[in-house]
Amino acid sequence: MAVCTRWIQGLVWGTLLGAVAGTAEQVVVIRDTVLEQGRSAALPIWVQLQLEGDRGLLRLSLFYSAQRLRILGIQGNGQQGLCGELSFWDTVFNGDTGRVDLYCSASVQTYTGILGWLEVEVLAGRDTVAWIHPFELRSGEQVLPLRATTAWIRIEGGPLVEPVGVDEVRIGAPNPFADRLWVHYAVARPGWVSFQLFSVSGIEIPLMPSRVYAPRVGSYVIGFRFLPWEIASGGYVLRMVTERGTVRFLWLLCVK
């Protein structure tokens, strides 16, 4: 019987740096945190960068949950940071997703420390979560290899407001592959939700069911069936896609 555990998410800074030591990957970390509804905060952006050649203009792009967070600005790290000055451009695509681009001219080629502090305001969403995901880093016209994790922000307190839906997926059992793959998922809008399971080598594992209908905003539990010989020891990625196009990933590890 397979005994599987969830891959640890929200790795601490030191662990993540150690995992990529000696590689050309650039590291960006915004730590998970807890904020109170209606308050503002400055979130530190940790980086480990090894830039080569003509550095040009550095641009870090982040996706974030726009219905729960408002971007107020960016504070640079002054004389001790990678960039003397930081600027930003904020774009809200729809009610759920926004993109903020941070710009600066790098003063050094190698840097480990705080790039700056992202100033955010917590909007509606008492007792729910917001997220920020670094997805691209450019030096001039060159896209740099990037390792980053999604930062989850738990929103608590504040006055009672109408709850806001959230699109998410998480593990549903301590050993999810022991019987069938049980997961919890939530949707911010009613509609169809599709699931796909891939090995780390990119092979898709058929799921039953692969598509379900969520009749209302809220949380659900689903159990996926598969043939025993289709699952071996190793890493897997579960992808969830909602009808409105929101994509979520869940990393899993199976050990037999």
Q: Please count the CA atoms within 13 angstroms of the CA of 242 that sit on its side-chain side.
A: 23
Are 73 and 136 in a shared domain?
yes
Same domain for 20 and 140, yes or no, is yes
Whether 191 is in a domain gets the answer: yes
Same domain flag for 53 and 138: yes
**CATH number of the CATH domain containing 230:** 2.60.40.2550
Range of the domain at 150: 8-156
pLDDT at 132: 93
Helix segments in the chain, DSSP class H: 13-19
Specify whether 92 is located in the same domain as 200. Answer: no
Q: Are residues 231 and 184 in the same domain?
A: yes
Residue 213 in tokens: 């209908």
| 13 and 88 together in one domain | yes
Q: Are 229 and 251 in contact (CB under 8 A)?
A: no
Report if residue 205 sits inside a domain: yes
Position 1 in a domain: no
Q: Is the peptide bond before 44 cis (omega within 30 degrees of 0)?
A: no
For residues 128 and 182, state if they share a domain: no
pLDDT of residue 167: 57
- In this structure, are 141 and 20 located in the same domain? yes
pLDDT at 236: 83
Spatial contact of 106 and 85, defined as CB atoms under 8 Å apart: no
Both 123 and 181 in a single domain? no
| Cα–Cα distance measured from residue 97 to residue 68, given in angstroms and rounded to the nearest whole number | 10
pTM of the model: 0.53
Same domain, 31 and 152: yes
Residue 212: per-residue pLDDT: 93
Domain containing residue 66: CATH number: 2.60.40.680
- Number of domains the chain contains: 2
Q: Does some domain include residue 161?
A: no
Mean pLDDT of successive 10-residue stretches along the chain, which has 256 residues: 36 38 71 84 89 78 89 80 80 78 85 88 76 90 87 73 53 59 83 88 85 86 77 81 83 72
**Residues 225, 168, 99, 112, CA torsion sign:** negative
My answer on whether 133 and 205 are in the same domain is no
> What does DSSP say about strands 146-148 and 87-92: parallel, antiparallel, or unpaired?
unpaired
Quickly count: other Cβ atoms within 10 Å of residue 36's Cβ.
14
